[in-house]
Amino acid sequence: MSADGGERPAGYPRWVLIFSAVVALSSALPHVHQACTVPQGEIFTGIVESHQDQNLYLVWCRQAMAGRVMMENFATAEEAPPIFVGPHWLVIGTLARFIPLPLIVTYRILAVALAFIYLLIVWRLLCAVLEDERARLFALVIVALGSGFRTFVAIIHRLLDREVLHSADVMPELWAYHSFLLPHFTLALCLMALLTLLLVRAWPAPTGRGWLGIALVGAAMTSVHPYNIAVWGPLLLLHAAISLAYRALDVRAVMANVAALLGAGGMAGLYVLGSHSNPMLAAWAEQNVLRSPPPLSYLMGLGVVLPLAIVGRFVISRESRHGPAMWLLVLWPLVTAVMVYSYPLVPFERRGVEGLHIPLAILAGAAMAGWVIPWLRERVGERRAIGVAMALLLVMILPTNLKLQYDSATTPMGRMPRGWLEAYEWLAEQTPDDARIFTSIRVGQYCARYALRHVYVGHVQVTVDAERKEDLAGEFFRITTAPERRAEILRGSGCGWLAATSGQEPAVKDMPGLEKAYDAGDMVIYRVPDAGPPPRLQPISSTR
C-alpha cells in the first residue's frame, strides 16, 4: 500500500474507461427493457427499485424545476411549513428545466453518468493506495460488480421450502451496483470516494488549499446523506488519534482529518438544526428509523469479499505497509460494525453501511493479488492464474446482481395503468393547489409525483404517522368495512378528494356524500363536499 499518495497517472487506461462505461450503462438495461415491453394500456413509470423513495425524489425535482427551494411535502395531508431537502435535488431539478427531455429520462441519464464518474474516482483512489496493478484490477471489479450471497441464500430457501437466512445485499446501501439504481446514492458514493482520495493525497503533502477542498467535499457528502457523519465522524477522529500515536502522521497532516470533520459535521449539524426547528422535518426525523438486520445478514450480504478483505489486511501487514491510508481502510469497517448497531444513538443504523464496500474491495483486491494468485500460480501456472482467479471471483459476486437485473427488468411494480396517469393529470388541472387526496399508499406515491397534490398516505417514512394511516386506508377500501366506519375515516382525514382504483371502487361507489368527478376507467376521482380542514401537524407520538 502506497504511503505517499501513490501513483497519479496522467490519464485512465482504456480498459478502465470501457469497463466503467459498460458497467454504468448496464445499470440502465432494466429500464430500457421495461420501456420497450410495457403492455398495452399501461405505462412505465421509469422506476424499477425503491418506488416510494424515487417517486418522492421526483416530486422534489418537479418542484425544483418550478423554481422552488423549499419543498412542499406532498406525501402527507398535514399542513406544515415547507422543508429544505438538499442542494442536489435543486441541481437535478434545475438541470431538468433546461434539458429538453422528460424529467424521468434526465433522472436516469444522470444515474448512469454518476455511476461512470464513481468508477473513475475509485480508480484514482486505487492508484493512490495500491501499488500492484493486479490488486487494482480485482478491487475495481469488486467495487463495480460486488454483491453477497443473496442468490445462493434464495436457492437454499427454495431447496428447503422455507426461509432460514437473510442476506443484507438486498439493501441498496451495501453495494455500488445496487446503488446505481438511485442517482443520489451514487452521488453520495462519488463524494465519499473523492473525500477518501483527497485525504490520502493530503496526508503526505498538507496544504491549505487541500484542506479547503477536503472540507467542501465533506460538506457536500453530508448534504446528500447527512447520516454519513455517524460513521465518518468517529472514523476521522479515531484515525487521527491512532495515526498520531503510531507517528504515521504529524499534527499538520492530521489537519486534513479536522478539515473533513468540520465540513461533514458542519453540514450534518445544519440538518439536525433544521429537524429541531421545522415541524415537518422533526416529524420526518422521528419516524426515520432504519434498524440493522442481524449480524449474520450482513455476513451473508458481504459474501466472499469480507473474508478476502480480512486476508488482505494480513497481506498488507506482512508486506509492512503501515501508512495512514492502511489505517483508514482497516478502521472504516470496524467503526461501521459498531455504528450499525448503536440504536438509539443512531436510529438509521443500516444507512451506516454506505460506502463500506470501498475499503473492503481494496483489501480484498490486495488479497487476490498477494494470496489467491500466488496460490493458483502453483497449481495452474503463471499464464492462467489471473484468469482463473477472476472467474472464481465473478462466480461468487455476480449472481446476485444478475438476479437484481432480471427482477428489475420484469417487476410489474415499475408499471401502472394508463388510466391512473389520466386521473392524476385531471387532478393536477382541475383541483386547487392545496387539495388533499385520500388514497392508498401505492396510489398516493404516484399521485404526489404526477399531480403534485397532497395525499393521505404516500410514503412509509415521509407521510406523517404513515403506519397508522396505511392501516386506516386499508380499512377504508376493504369491502367489508361498515359504511359508518368508512365515513368516519374519510371525515378524519381532512381530504376533499378521493382517488379509488378500479379494484377499490366497488367499496366506495355507493358511499353517501361522494360526488363522482372523473372516471378514467382504471381510476375514479370523487369529490368530498363536506370534507373538514386539513389536519394540523402534531408530534407522531401524540397520535398513537
**Residue-averaged pLDDT of the chain:** 93
**Would you say residue 74 lies in a domain?**
no
pLDDT digits (tens, 9 = 90+) for 186-211: 999 999 999 999 999 999 999 999 99
Q: Do residue 119 and residue 230 come from a single domain?
A: yes
Domain end position, chosen among 410, 436, 458: 410
| Residues 396 and 309 reside in one and the same domain | yes
CA distances 321 to 77, 222, 248, 372, Å, are: 57, 31, 11, 19
Mean pLDDT to the nearest integer, 382-404: 94
- Both 191 and 333 in a single domain? yes
Domain boundary, last residue among 410, 440, 469: 410
The top-scoring range by mean pLDDT among 237-241, 274-278, 340-344, 534-538 is 237-241
Residue 189 and residue 107 share a domain: yes
Asked if residue 5 belongs to a domain, the reply is no
Range of the domain at 341: 14-44+101-410
Residue 341 has pLDDT above 50, yes or no: yes
Percent of the chain at pLDDT above 90?
83
Q: Which amino acid is at 205?
A: A
CA distance 115 to 119: 6
- 289 pLDDT above the threshold of 90: no
- Please say whether the dihedral angle defined by the alpha carbons of residues 350, 355, 361 and 364, taken in this order, is positive or negative: negative
Q: What is the C-alpha separation between 514 and 512, in angstroms, rounded?
A: 6
**Do 245 and 217 have their domain in common?**
yes
Q: Read off the C-alpha cell for 105.
A: 429520462
Please give the tally of structural domains in the chain.
2
Please check whether residue 364 is in contact with residue 139, taking contact to mean a CB–CB distance below 8 angstroms: yes
204 is a domain residue: yes
> Which grid cell is 36?
420497450
Q: Do residues 281 and 425 both lie within one domain?
A: no
Cell of 378: 502453483
For residue 275, name the pLDDT band (cuts at 50, 70, 90).
Answer: confident
pLDDT band at residue 285 under the 50/70/90 scheme: confident
Q: Confirm whether 144 is domain-assigned.
A: yes
Could you tell me if 166 and 267 lie in one domain?
Answer: yes
Instruction: Tell me: do 266 and 188 sit in the same domain.
Output: yes
pLDDT of residue 3: 45
Which residues are within 8 A (CB) of 83 and not within 5 positions of it... i.e. 6 or more apart?
70, 71, 73, 274, 278, 280, 281, 284
438 found inside a domain: yes
CA-CA distance, 299 to 449, in Å (whole number)? 37
pLDDT in tens, 405-464: 999 999 999 999 999 999 999 999 999 999 999 999 999 999 999 999 999 999 999 999
Query: Are residues 169 and 252 located together in one domain of the fold?
Result: yes
In a domain, 3, yes or no: no
Report yes or no on 90 lying in a domain.
no
Q: Which residue, of 410, 438, 464, is where some domain finishes?
A: 410
Q: Each residue of 76-132: pLDDT tens digit?
A: 999 989 999 999 999 999 999 999 999 999 999 999 999 999 999 999 999 999 999
The residue with greater pLDDT, 160 or 112, is 112
Q: Model confidence over 299-316: pLDDT tens digits?
A: 999 999 999 999 999 988
CATH number of the CATH domain containing 449? 3.40.50
Residue showing cell 399542513: 79
**pLDDT at res. 286:** 83
Same-domain check for residues 388 and 287: yes
512 domain-assigned: yes
Residues 397 and 507 in one domain: no
